[in-house]
Structure 1
Amino acid sequence: MLWIKFRGTVSFEEAKWRVGRFQELGSQQELFVVADMTENSGYDVEGRRYASENIEPEWFSAIVYLGARLIHKAAAKGIALVQRLRGKPTTPVYFVASEEEARHLLARLRSTQEPPAQHP
């Protein structure tokens, strides 16, 4: 499980770094990610484009957005749309309002899903 707190606007450089970490970790084992968006103001245009074009759904079991506002929900749905247009499966995405709700959701998801796939 990976818990990330986003602060301020995500730049192209930060998006590139985060995608690299997702690839590094997710290529070994699918990730459950909680993205805490309570202090985030969004992505800059290039960062959003880079993330949507380079994130692979195979890296994730699920992504849970904590405290997401409309801008975050639109970005998450945009990434899912790009994945569909590329012929890729989409990553299950959830939106929650509190840390407690995120923890309960993760516990439920982890108990009902098959063990995460191990990648060679």
Structure 2
Amino acid sequence: MAALREWVLGTQRVSLESSDVLWATVRGTFSEEEARQLTVLLQEQYAELGRPYYLVVDLGGSMGPVAEETAQSVAPRKLLAEHVRPEWFQAIVFFGGKRSQREVLQALVVALQFTGRIRLEARFLETRKEAREWLEAHRQQHTPPPAEPLP
């Protein structure tokens, strides 16, 4: 599907696929500046749309957490945990990546649970196809019914 809008944050790419779906493709590791830019972008999308949206994250090209923790590798995750709000999202879907990446992201999701007033729904899947299928099923289950005609 063609993107309505695209952003490039260093080596990371984000695209608005439809009015309620934002796709992020992670390549390499996030710098602190890229994490800051992503946080601003996520908040701006929430403000522009006026409602929660889906975030789908392709981890296939990311390097994941480094074996030796450094301040440089921890800072972007800390920034995201402190500034991203669960109420911005209908749900977040992660696919691809390594087990260690998923564990770090699960910890980040748990941290986000404590910052908001709502529960953040997150799914960890293997493939883009599974992510699309889950997204479509979730959208169908959570689409409000059409408005009743006025008498």
- Structure 1's consecutive aligned runs of 4 or more residues displaced over 4 angstroms after TM superposition are none
Q: Tell me how far 1:87 sits from its aligned partner.
A: 5.8
Between 1:80-89 and 1:105-114, the stretch displaced more is 80-89
In our comparison, the structure showing a higher alpha carbon Rg is: 2
Pair 17,87 (structure 1): closer, same or farther in 2 beyond 3 Å: closer
Q: CA deviation at 1:63?
A: 0.6
**Inter-partner Cα distance in structure 1 for 2:115 and 2:46:** 19
RMSD: 1.6
Conserved 8 A contact 1:3-1:34: yes
Conserved 8 A contact 1:7-1:40 = yes
Give the TM-score of the pair, scaled to structure 1. 0.86
Of the candidates 32, 36, 39, which is equivalent to residue 61 of structure 2?
Answer: 39
Identify which of 88, 99, 118 aligns with 1:89. Answer: 118
| Aligned 1:1-120 pairs, distance under 5 A | 1-27=21-47, 28-42=50-64, 44-86=73-115, 88-115=117-144
SS in 2 for 1:10: coil
Report the more deviating stretch, 81-90 or 10-19: 81-90
State which drifts further: 49-58 or 85-94: 85-94
Q: Which has the higher contact order (CA 8 A, sep 6+)?
A: 1
Percent pairwise identity:
29
